[in-house]
Amino acid sequence: MTFSVESADQQSLDDPLLYANRELSWLDFNDRVLAEAYDPRNPLLERVRFLSITASNLDEFYSKRIAWLRQMLATDATHRTVDGLTIAEQLEAILKRCTVSRREMESCWHDVLEPSLAEAGIRVVRFGSLDAEAHEKLRRYFVDSVYPVLTPLVVDPAHPFPFISSASVSLLLSVREPHTGRERTARVKVPPNRPRFIDAGDGRFILLEDLIVAHLDMLFPGVQVLDVHLLRVLRSIELGTTGEAADDLLELVEAELRRRRLADAVGAEVTGMLSYESEQQLLRELQLRPSDLITCSGPLGLADLTQLAGLPLADHLYPPFTPTVPSAFVLATDDDTALFDRIRAQDILVHHPYESFDATVARFISDAANDPSVLAIKQTLYRTSPDSPLLLSLLDASMKGKQVAVLLELTARLDEENNIEWARRLEEAGVHVAYGNPSQKIHSKISLVVREEPTGVQLYAHIGSGNYNSRTARSTPMLGC
């Protein structure tokens, strides 16, 4: 018998065995997030938060990656990625995994977290199980705060099937007209600007859709409600800007965002078994296949569990964490110029979230904005928070006559609208704003401060591996120097 050893340099880098599939690898990652929700070593509300993150991640994955794979499937189903799988094979495997993930998330909620919350005095209950006093309190809340924003829609020859926005929760109803006996489909959108979990007192919460169902008589007076299901549609968030010529990239992305709101559905979730007629109507109107419709036990949209995770119950949360401030920044307290003296003496490494973003990176830009010796600030931006102190400093610097230039990536996925809003504000303040290339994304995180000193013009820079986002910097590890 002969044995042989193949050296590493003899193995072809094209060998699919060397690579994991991108999509399946990401689903493996999300399974690890879900495992944190199951882990009893984590505080209870943090486990609820992990479940909400898992659900939010899966929604984004579905709308982004499955949408992309379906676009690819239409053009070249037999194309193989570096791991050796065809687009068709990947899509089949991923859809199965996503269905399993939904089942596991529902099991985590119903079998693990919901009972654990009940033991801790936090109960999610049905409206019908509450006492008369709670009913009256919730009915007043419904009349005052929910009913005015509801718009029940009935599908008939004069009223086509309504557009269902992505990730919104809807009530899908079958109703019967009293005079004709004719059955119709109706839809009520559960308003996203109302709390999903409504405080019913004594540690009890009911779901907003449950409250709406309990008052359907106000929405459909004199009409018999035959059946009620919850429906949730996920639509593609793929923007079609790549490779497109654009005289104005800002206008192009804005147009794409408008198209995204009307984008193709890539999947739908429904509670309970629809009748054959209702299912066929739904599939037809959404232009989906039967395999794209997933029957769930509910509640739909588990990402909304973040509301419960935010309850102020210290015993069920991680202890609050206060990031440290590096000594170089603590010592540089004399005035807005002291920090530049420290940086000129030596490079400074900061590590977020363990060291404060606000007291280091945000301060760097704030001090530059206030320092009369600073001539210019130049910055790349990818993702920012809506209330970004860093961007407010850039606006302040421009108003004080400094030259401010920003390279803003408009196509940061799911942050496009926020970035467009900041682009408008920056331009109105006199900031020179440039945008990323339509065929590329600008991921670099760089700030450059140009300062006039007795020895001449000096350049100070911040280079980071994360984003200039003060919110995520508090929880997402990021290295900067």
CB environment 367-384: b (16+ within 10 A), e (fewer): bbbbbeebebbbbbbbbb
Contact 415, 385 (CB under 8 A): no
**DSSP string of 452-475?**
EETTEEEEEEEEESS-S-TTGGGT
Q: Which helix (H) or strand (E) holds 95?
A: helix 87-107
C-alpha distances out from residue 345 to 164, 189, 363, 454, Å = 58, 60, 18, 16
* C-alpha torsion angle, residues 63, 31, 27, 266 (rounded to 10): -30
β-pairing, 265-271 vs 224-235, is antiparallel
Q: Determine which one of 79, 110, 159, 443 is catalytic.
A: 443
Contact 406, 432 (CB under 8 A): yes
Cα 307 off chain centre by: 15
Name which of 289, 290, 150 is nearest 214 in CA terms: 150
- Is residue 198 packed enough to be buried (19+ CB in 10 Å), middle (13-18) or exposed (0-12)? buried
Cα separation, 274 vs 174, in Å, equals: 10
Token pair listed for 37:
């929700």
In the residue annotation, 443 being an active-site residue is answered as yes
- Is residue 141 packed enough to be buried (19+ CB in 10 Å), middle (13-18) or exposed (0-12)? middle
Cα 80 off chain centre by: 29
- Is residue 317 packed enough to be buried (19+ CB in 10 Å), middle (13-18) or exposed (0-12)? middle
* Beta bridge partners of residue 374, listed in sequence order: 451
Q: Is the dihedral of CA 150, 152, 158, 162 positive or negative?
A: positive
**DSSP string of 196-207?**
SEEEEETTEEEE
Cα separation, 60 vs 77, in Å, equals: 23
Q: Where are the alpha helices (DSSP H) in 231-314?
A: 249-261, 276-286, 306-309
Q: Catalytic amino acids?
A: 443
